[in-house]
């Protein structure tokens, strides 16, 4: 079972911007090879950080408003939000250790 949340244009404000915990948002698409590569890593992080951080995904094809608002031009793009603000950004498929380090810095 997945601990990731499917963020969308309609729930983004409630789930991400209003979260009391840090939030890692993975912007991805079905057709994106690197997105499929990093997807399982994001799923693992969702389990590992359960209760400490919120981790979810935004399908850029299905949710263009959020993608445009945050200037997503290249995927995978992972944004870390804290108190409703973007505090970190990772572009491309990076090793799990990189994601953990950047997420840990916000806890």
32 is catalytic: yes
One digit per residue, the tens of pLDDT, for the chain of length 107 reads: 468 999 999 999 999 999 999 999 999 999 999 999 999 999 999 999 999 999 999 999 999 999 999 999 999 999 999 999 999 999 999 999 999 999 999 99
Supply the pTM of this predicted model: 0.95
Catalytic hit among 23, 24, 32, 66: 32
35 is catalytic: yes
For helices 96-104 and 33-48, give the axis angle rounded to 10 degrees: 50
The number of folded domains in the chain is: 1
Domain residues for the domain of 68 are 5-104
Query: How many Cβ atoms are within 10 Å of 69's Cβ, its own excluded?
Result: 11
CA dihedral 31, 35, 37, 43 (to 10 degrees): -120
Catalytic hit among 24, 35, 60, 66: 35
């Amino acid at each position: 079972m997945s601990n990731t949340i499917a963020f969308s244009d309609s729930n983004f404000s409630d789930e991400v911007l209003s979260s009391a915990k840090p939030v890692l948002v993975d912007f991805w698409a079905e057709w994106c090879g690197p997105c499929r590569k990093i997807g399982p890593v994001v799923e693992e992080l969702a389990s590992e950080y359960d209760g400490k951080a919120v981790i979810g995904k935004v399908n850029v094809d299905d949710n263009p408003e959020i993608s445009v608002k945050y200037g997503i031009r290249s995927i995978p793009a992972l944004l870390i939000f804290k108190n409703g603000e973007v505090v970190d950004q990772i572009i491309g498929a990076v090793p799990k250790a990189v994601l953990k380090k950047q997420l840990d810095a916000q806890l």
